[in-house]
Amino acid sequence: MKAVLLDSASLGEGIDFSPLKRHVDTLILHDQTSPADCASRVSEADILLTNKVVINAEVMNAAPNLRHICVLATGTNNIDLEAAEERHVSVSNVENYGTASVAQHTLMMILALATRLPLNQHSVSAGDWQQSPFFCLLDHSALQLAGRHLVIVGEGTLGRRVAEMARAFDMTVTFTARPGSDNDSRPALHDVLPDADIVSLHCPLTEATRHLIDTEALSLMQPHALLVNCARGGIIDEVAALDALRHGRIGGLAVDVLPVEPPRDGHPLIDATSEALNLIVTPHSAWTTLEARQRIIELTSNTLAQRQQG
C-alpha cells in the first residue's frame, strides 16, 4: 500500500509523520506540489493525502490504483467529490483537531479588542502616553467582559468551547439559529444583534452564510460591539465591516481569515492595520499550535487504521 502526501510543508515544522507509516507500506512526503507535478507524483498511489492541493478528476485519472483520499483539514472543497464517487474512491477528512487552539485564539481576539490593545499600542508608538498629563492614558477605555453578552453563530464543538471559556469571564452567551434554517428554535441572528456586545462566528461558509454580517446586520449592532471571525473569509462583508469600524458604528473587528488566502493581491483590512483602529488581522493562524497540527496526523492515522480493519 503506497501513500503520497502532496503538501506536507503546509502543516509546518515539528510534525511527526510516523503514525501514518504504521498503516502503509510506503509513505512519500512532498513539501509542496504544483498542479503540473500532480499527475507524476500520484501515478502509483493507492492513498493520497492532501491539505490544500486540489484533487480533481484529472489527478484521479492519473492514479489508476487510487482507493482513498485523506484530506488533512476539515473541509473537502479541494476534492472533486463527484469524480471520486464515480471512481469508487473514498474520501475522509479530519474534524475537531484544533478546537482548543482556535478557541484560545478567539478569546485572545476578544480580550485584545475589549482592552483596545491595537489602539493603545498605536497611541504608545505615536508618543501619546509620553505626552499625557496623567500617569496613564485614558483615550481608549477598555470594555469589561463580565456581564457582557456574547452572541455565537455556530453551536458546534468549537462554538461550545468558546462559550465555556466566555462564561469563565462571567459573560452571557446566546447561540443563534442556523443560518438558512426554517425550523430552528434558537433566536435569529438579526433578532439578537441589537443586544450583542460581542459577535463571534464559528460556522461554515455556505450560500446561507456568505456575507451573513453585511451592511444591514452591521447597522443593527451597538457602536461598542466587537466582531470576531475565526471561521471563514466571506462570512462577513469585510469592506462593509471596515467602513463600520472607521465610522464608529462598531467598536472592534478581528479576523483570522480572508476570502482569498493567501491574499497575494492584498486586502483592504490588511491595508487598514496601519491606521489607528481597533482592528486585528491574523494570517489564518488560529489552528497553528503544534498540538493541533500533530492531532491532524493522529486523526488521519486512525482513519487509515479503520480502513485496514474494514
Active site residues: 232, 261, 284
Collapsing DSSP to helix, strand or coil, 174 comes out as strand
Please, where are the H alpha helices in the chain? 18-21, 35-42, 57-61, 81-86, 99-114, 117-125, 157-167, 189-192, 215-220, 238-246, 268-272, 290-309
Collapsing DSSP to helix, strand or coil, 94 comes out as coil
CB 144 within 8 A of CB 182: no
CA dihedral 50, 305, 45, 14 (to 10 degrees): 40
Per the structure block, which three cell numbers stand in for 6? 502532496
- Rounded to an integer, what is the distance from CA 167 to the centroid of its chain? 22
Per the structure block, which three cell numbers stand in for 231? 471561521
